[in-house]
Structure 1
Amino acid sequence: MIYTSTLAAVVSALAAEAIDNTSKQAWQKLYRPGYADGGSLECLMRSSGERGITRMDADCWVYARLHSQLIPRHWNSLMARFSTHKVKKVEAIGKLVPLIASPAPGLFVQKAVTAWAIPPMKGVEGKRSTRDLIVLPAGWYDMNNWDETASPERTRRHWRSLIVKTLEDMVGEALKEAEQILRAEGVLQSEAA
């Protein structure tokens, strides 16, 4: 299984985790800890024989590999930004909030991180199925509701931009680390291809 980019691998792996399918852990039967030939996805693909390794197997393997090898800050930034698993996305948001150094009040930081992780969606007013998605009320995105001290709008915009920059930097760092992990595992298309 070869992914075209780090982002494609991350998004695919995080989406696989949200699918409730008992066979998604089949890759674990192929993994043999302690054996030299059991440590990479490429080895698992060779050892899977006739059955072959499915896309779901590969995605779940990548999910587990990234989860075990990325530092918590990087893992949580990817989960908050790209996961479709409601509970894990909310948990990741909660773990990111205390990491944001900001002069803004705590409520403002919490709402800004949440709004970044769960952006408003077009077409949710009955035109689109939102059963499996987190949809926040429109008022959530109004910065007037984020600051009980009634700071000037310019200040609130500055705070928000710094928070978003910090979060985007975390995601950028996490994707760089994920790329190194995935390249070492041999699951990313080479740039020459």
Structure 2
Amino acid sequence: MTYRNVVSAVVRALAAETINSAGGCDFEPKVQCAKQKGEIVGKEAALLVDCMVHSRLHKALPADQWQALLAKFSTHTDRKHDAIIFLAKKMTSPAPERFRHAAVVTWAIPKLPGVQGKRSTNVLPEGWYVLSNWCDEGRPEPTLYRWRTAIRKGLESLVDQALISAQEVLDVEGLIEGHAA
């Protein structure tokens, strides 16, 4: 199996945790079952590759890059939440801690179009997206926008670095179309 690009590989690998009913990348039972029946094929094979890519990326990427990918792309609520907390503490900014946390949360869980943003089950209440709610210190609005922009640029840069690193790992493994070994 090969992926079209690095983003699709990362998204599928991170979603593999939530796809199976066991709640994790349980490729071992599938391998054991395959030894009895023959080769793993179809959806089972794709899930197996997704689980192995998840493991490979988790081990190969630095912690901050891995957490950035989790915050941006993961569908696992607890892992996404933990990654948001990790990144909020890691971000450097003159903004107060509460502001940094809200900026990371709204970056990781953006407001979606639709009726009150409710196209997804993972949408925050409307108040989370109001910038003036993030800081009690009465800072001017341009300052708040500058802080938010700087934090988001830092996060996007971290995701870009993580995707470059992931691309290198997947290229070595021959898992990207056109780059297969």
Partner residue, 2:27: 26
Partner residue, 1:116: 107
Determine if the alignment matches structure 1 residue 175 to structure 2 residue 163.
yes
- The correspondence for 1:97, drawn from 88, 98, 104, is 88
Q: When the two structures are superposed, what TM-score results if normalisation uses the length of structure 1?
A: 0.82
Q: Aligned runs of 1:93-172 on 2, under 5 Å?
A: 93-123=84-114, 125=116, 128=119, 130=120, 133-172=121-160
Deviation of the 1:69 alpha carbon: 1.0
Partner residue, 1:51: 40
Structure 2, unaligned runs of 5 or more? none
Distance 1:152 1:163, change over 3 A: same
Distance 1:191 1:63, change over 3 A: closer
Distance 1:190 1:134, change over 3 A: same
Give the letter for the 2:59 counterpart. Answer: S
Q: When the two structures are superposed, what TM-score results if normalisation uses the length of structure 2?
A: 0.87
Structure richer in helix, relative to its length: 2
Residue pair 1:27, 1:61 contacting (<8 A) in 2 also? no
Partner residue, 1:39: none
CA distance in 1, matches of 2:93, 2:2: 40
CA distance in 2, matches of 1:69, 1:127: 35
Deviation of the 1:21 alpha carbon: 2.6
1:173 alignment partner, SS class = helix
Deviation of the 1:127 alpha carbon: 6.8
- The correspondence for 1:72, drawn from 41, 63, 66, is 63
Distance 1:28 1:175, change over 3 A: farther
Partner residue, 2:173: 185
Among the aligned pairs, what percent are the same residue? 42
CA distance in 2, matches of 1:164, 1:49: 48
Residue pair 1:27, 1:58 contacting (<8 A) in 2 also? no
Distance 1:148 1:126, change over 3 A: closer
2:139 alignment partner, SS class = coil
Number of residues of Structure 1 aligned to a counterpart in Structure 2? 173
Partner residue, 2:4: 4
Listed one character per residue, the Cα deviations across residues 11-66 of structure 1 (whole Å, up to 9, x for unaligned) are 111112122334952257659xxxxxxxxxxxxxxxx9533361111111111111
C-alpha RMSD of matched pairs (Å)? 2.3
CA distance in 1, matches of 2:118, 2:63: 37
Distance 1:99 1:27, change over 3 A: same
Residue pair 1:24, 1:60 contacting (<8 A) in 2 also? yes
Distance 1:64 1:137, change over 3 A: same
Structure 1, unaligned runs of 5 or more? 32-47
Listed one character per residue, the Cα deviations across residues 53-83 of structure 1 (whole Å, up to 9, x for unaligned) are 6111111111111111111100000000000
